[in-house]
Amino acid sequence: MQHNRYHHLGWLYGIDFFEAAFSTQTFSRHAHEGFAIGAIAEGAGGYLCRGESMVLPAGSLSLMNPEEAHTGHAAAERVRYNMLYASEAAVRAVLGVRELPGFAEIAPRDRGFKLSEALVRLAQCLNSVQMADHRLAVEEAVHAVLTQAFAHYGRAVLRRPGNEPSAIRIMLAFIEDGVAAGKTLSLSDLAAAVDLNPSYLIRSTVRATGLTPRGHVVRARLGHARRLLLDGAPAVEAAVAAGFYDQAHLIRHFLRQYGVTPGALIRH
């Protein structure tokens, strides 16, 4: 039985993401033009790669460099894994790096399962098309996967997050204006507004505020919705005006932020 999904992000440097879940499918000897970054979530996957036959159990990483020939099959009754495919140009653009030495090991131990978790989070974002600021969430999730993969296993040197108070102030004002104007905001929009690489902006924003840029966008949307509610707008209208997919999404985020639903907001 197969339950595979293949996502192509044409708007994000052509990055691909494969959610694999199968028992009998096999892959003949092939290679990918770009990097392949994955983690086994269930069962075991089998490879013939670099002249070696290997079995990767659940919890294993699978990291391959461009044009690295290999086969693939389920080495257990069933295998389930998540795999991101990105060209060298895409990785350089997302992370803002020039040198990409590549992966020395095909199946290194996943330290703290951080890369596995980042891949799961990306899958969740891709399958939650109704979430607020969906593309921004996907962009940040892709960034998290590539950062974990290349900073910890790919020997890439990322620019350290810096102290950027002026850039963050400008970004926050840009977000507030965009939310008030009913705009959809992307990571590239936010980075361009402050003339910083998106990866560096994410890491510097988290370092300074504890939130990602999307975290600040969601917070601004909630603040806008709250003001509309206090002015007497119905929840469904406030949700749409603030940029949420629907009233249910506003309620979910409102509860997380304020501890109550919009209906429990009382004006005195």
Residue 239 confidence class, pLDDT cut points 50, 70, 90: very high
Are 138 and 245 part of one and the same domain?
no
Q: Tell me, yes or no, whether 16 and 146 share the same domain.
A: yes
Q: Which helix (H) or strand (E) holds 214?
A: helix 213-230
How far apart (Å, rounded) are the C-alpha atoms in residues 178 and 101?
A: 39
Give the range of the structural domain holding residue 221, as residue numbers without chain letter.
Answer: 165-264
Query: CA–CA separation, 96 vs 71, rounded Å?
Result: 31
The answer as to whether 15 is a domain residue is: yes
Percent of the chain past pLDDT 90, that is, above it, reads 75
pLDDT in the model for residue 83: 96
Sign of CA dihedral 31, 34, 39, 42: negative
What integer pLDDT is reported at residue 191 of this predicted model?
Answer: 95
Q: What would the pLDDT profile of 65-80 be if each residue is shown by its tens digit? A: 999 988 888 888 888 8
CB-count exposure of residue 20 (10 Å: 0-12, 13-18, 19+): buried
Domain's final residue, options 112, 130, 152: 152
Give 29's pLDDT tier (boundaries 50, 70, 90).
confident
Q: Which residue, among 94, 75, 82, 107, has the nearest Cα to 20 in the 3D structure?
A: 82
Query: Are residue 171 and residue 219 in the same domain, yes or no?
Result: yes
Q: Are residues 203 and 260 in the same domain?
A: yes
Residue-wise pLDDT for 131-184, tens only, equals 778 999 999 999 999 999 999 999 999 999 999 999 999 999 999 999 999 999
Q: Are residues 127 and 214 in the same domain?
A: no
Sorted by sequence, the CB contacts under 8 Å of residue 173 that are 6+ apart come out as none
- pLDDT, tens digit (0-9, with 9 covering 90-100), for 93-130: 999 998 999 999 999 989 899 999 999 999 999 998 87
DSSP states along 118-140: HHHHHHHHHT-TTSTTHHHHHHH
Residues 135 and 65 in one domain: yes
pLDDT at 224 over 70: yes
238 inside domain:
yes
pLDDT at 1: 56
Q: How many domains does the chain have?
A: 2
Q: Is the pTM of this model over 0.95?
A: no
Final residue in a domain of this structure, among 152, 175, 203? 152
